[in-house]
Amino acid sequence: MRRDWRWVILVAVLAAVLGGAVGARLAGAGPGTRGDAGDGAGRLRAQGVELVREDGADAVVQAVERVGPAVVKVAVTRQAFVDSLFFQAPVVEEGLGSGVIIDAGGYVLTNEHVVREATDVRVMLRDGRDFRAELVGADPWTDLAVLRIPGQNLPAAELGPSAPLRVGQTVIAIGNPFGLDFTVTTGVVSALQRTIPIDENRFLFQLLQTDAAINPGNSGGPLVDLAGRVVGINTAVLGSVEGFAAQGLGFAIPADMARQVARDIIAYGRPRRLGVLGTALTRAHRRVLEEELGVAAPEAGVLVLQVIPDSPAASAGIRALDVIVEAGGQAVDSMEGLIAVTNETEPGARLELVVIREGRRFIAATRL
């Protein structure tokens, strides 16, 4: 099917202005992936948290010891079909990913692509406990899913703030790459606010980029700071670009986004969102819109990069390259501001948006 010209321009805007990676693939639970059961004291500061070295242990070791018990292995079973001589025969596929317990009552955060189309999901803890998991809800647009296991007083990790992260800061990835249980790798935050394409019609936005080694099986596992807080959920790795092998290009969903999506899934069974993926309108965006497209752009607002199908934004007629300047009577100039207004709006309530499209100002209304 022939693409709409706006989509082609949107991809160009993403590549030229946002600097998104190309050709990323999800580091997820692939079929057939199996895993086995699996004297100096000092002080240092990491992100304002004072850490005390004990028995010579360094900050990485302490962080891993703090969050490690909450990291889990997620084993999935799917039914697939393969072509036989006269018909398609059903086969059972097995996959493996990672996850992290975020609540002592049994809620587990992982990637949507890890549990997609699974007929059975099991969660295995580092201490040997094994639970059949219930899928509470999943969101392919952020690649997040929440599971629930029946255990009590489970070890839970702290979801830390992702906003204060700095490029060059040390981070730790923990997961089960290629079935190698509880593997720890270290690296740095390589970049912030990355955008990567997952398929022809879907992007992941506002990702953390890291050079900590991430491989198939790591998906859904935590990216941790030196204070032992989860700052991201590992989701994808860039394997190659135009035939050239890439190294050290992994991506994680920021903890702030993961926290909000998880809260909504637990409360409502799905994310409570307007349904737009975008970014704060910058001078570079305005230049592209005005010089390349001949579109008049406002000084501030939220540039819509993608509209989720069947969402409130889609029903309101919002399109890619629209600029939202007000929501619910409040001026908005960032996705965070737009999300905040959305979160303050009661489910089912009417929300009015002031939108600029090709220099024309109009009001779009929808119900959340």
Which secondary structure element, helix H or strand E, spans residue 5, and what is its range? helix 5-13
Nearest to 220, CA basis, from 326, 313, 108, 322: 108
Q: Is 264 helix (H, G, I), strand (E, B) or coil?
A: helix
Instruction: Compute the residue count for the chain.
Output: 368
Return all residues near 119 (Cβ < 8 A) that are at least 6 apart.
77, 78, 79
Active-site position among 98, 139, 143, 285: 143
In this structure, are residues 144 and 111 in contact, taking their beta carbons and an 8 Å threshold?
A: yes
Query: Max Cα separation, the chain?
Result: 71
What is d(CA 61, CA 180) in angstroms, rounded to the nearest whole number?
A: 19
Which of 98, 113, 139, 264 is flagged as catalytic?
113
DSSP letters for 333-361: -SHHHHHHHHHHSPTT-EEEEEEEETTEE
Neighbouring C-beta atoms of residue 196, cutoff 10 Å: 24
330 to 221, 275, 325, 333: CA distances (angstroms): 37, 18, 8, 10
β-bridge partners, 331: 326
> Taking a C-beta distance cutoff of 8 angstroms, is the pair 287, 295 a contact?
no
Q: How far is CA 60 from CA 70, 145, 176, 311, in A?
A: 16, 27, 18, 42
Classify residue 340 as exposed, middle or buried by CB count within 10 Å of its CB (0-12, 13-18, 19+): middle
User: Is position 143 annotated as part of the catalytic site?
Assistant: yes
Active-site residue, selected from the candidate residues 98, 162, 219, 311? 219
Please answer whether residues 353 and 326 qualify as being in contact, where contact means their C-beta atoms are separated by less than 8 angstroms. yes
The residue behind tokens 């022809």 is 200
Q: Is 113 noted as a catalytic residue in this protein?
A: yes
Catalytic residues: 113, 143, 219
